[in-house]
Amino acid sequence: MIEFIFKQKRDAIKLQEYLNKEFITSWFHETLFQHKTHYNLTIDIPPFVKDKEKLYHGFSRFVIHDKCMEWCESVLREQYFYEDIHEINQILEILSEMRMGERPELMDLIGEWDEAGYVHGSLELLLEGKSPISFDSFSKFRLKELQERLMKMMDLAIDEYKMEQEYQMFVHMLREYLESREGKMNTIHLYSSGYDFRFFDEEMKELTRQELTKVIDKRLLTNHPLYVDSYTIAPLLSLAPRKIFVYGNGDHQLIRTLQNIFEERIDLLPLHYFPDTLLYPSRDIANE
């Protein structure tokens, strides 16, 4: 038998739910200690290794899926002083995506780590003892490395959240600028060459870099030099076309930004929709 003592009733009940899913027997009861109610969960340790793995799995899921996010929310409120539930949820969502492997660019900064394996090993060390175990003490000392890692991930998640908020403000600002701008062209065709974009007017005549530079509203580059791309975003905003046909891959970061700014004005088309003869006019001359 192993007995865990919880300060919160919901923790004892939640762990028992995870263990029930693994068909691990446990008993829940309340006790009074120093005039305070505590909640005990006595767990039957299976005799066979295969069944013990079920115990480790259930306990690890309880820690990783429930307690980790609860600890992180407490840190956001008590150490970073976040109060807005919307902000808290957005940061926790980024953190959750990191832990699920959906933010590899962030996880590369701290390296991969086997959370479940660490919790498994920490619990395994306790099974030989017979004294009741305070879950708070177990979390503080046995799971110290896990909590320290969560703090590092939290810092990255907060920084990412702030950057995403700045990006949203940037997009909103440019949308407002676009709405106030009188269009200088009806249609622009934008071809992605992989490393930059080539501009074509509504008659499919290519616009030179010099021509594009002349139409740029200099206020865009003066007021927002760190945000506005002078090669693509600034010319498009300055021309403010009613329709933009973009030929390229929707996974391209700049194309996604253009879609966010220009919204319904943009149509994304496959690269092969664009006529090759316009990209390589010298071929036609050579063939004549």
Question: Regarding beta strands 266-269 and 187-192, do their DSSP bridges make them parallel or antiparallel, or are they unpaired?
Answer: unpaired
pLDDT of 127 above 80 = no
pLDDT given at position 224: 61
What's the pLDDT band for 279 if we cut at 50, 70, 90? confident
Q: Give the integer Cα–Cα distance in Å for 134 and 35.
A: 17
Name the 3-class secondary structure at 245: strand
Of the ranges 89-93, 127-131, 216-220, 279-283, the best mean pLDDT one = 89-93
What's the pLDDT band for 229 if we cut at 50, 70, 90? confident
pLDDT of 248 above 70 = yes
Cβ pair 123, 59 in contact under 8 A: yes
Question: Regarding beta strands 2-6 and 36-43, do their DSSP bridges make them parallel or antiparallel, or are they unpaired?
Answer: antiparallel
Name the 3-class secondary structure at 202: coil
Mean pLDDT of 18-34: 89
pLDDT given at position 284: 45
Q: Give the integer Cα–Cα distance in Å for 257 and 245.
A: 14
Mean pLDDT of 233-245: 94
Q: Give the integer Cα–Cα distance in Å for 196 and 198.
A: 7
Question: Regarding beta strands 133-134 and 2-6, do their DSSP bridges make them parallel or antiparallel, or are they unpaired?
Answer: parallel
Beta bridge partners of 206: 200
pLDDT in tens, 174-227: 999 999 989 999 999 999 887 789 999 999 999 999 999 999 988 887 766 556
Question: CA torsion sign, 268 to 271 to 272 to 277?
Answer: positive
**Cβ–Cβ contacts within 10 Å for residue 194, how many?**
9
pLDDT given at position 230: 81
What residue ranges define each of the domains in the chain, with the CATH number in brackets? 2-174 (no CATH), 182-287 (3.30.420)
pLDDT of 282 above 70 = no
Query: Strand ranges (DSSP E) for the chain?
Result: 2-6, 26-33, 36-43, 133-134, 187-192, 197-200, 206-207, 243-247, 266-269
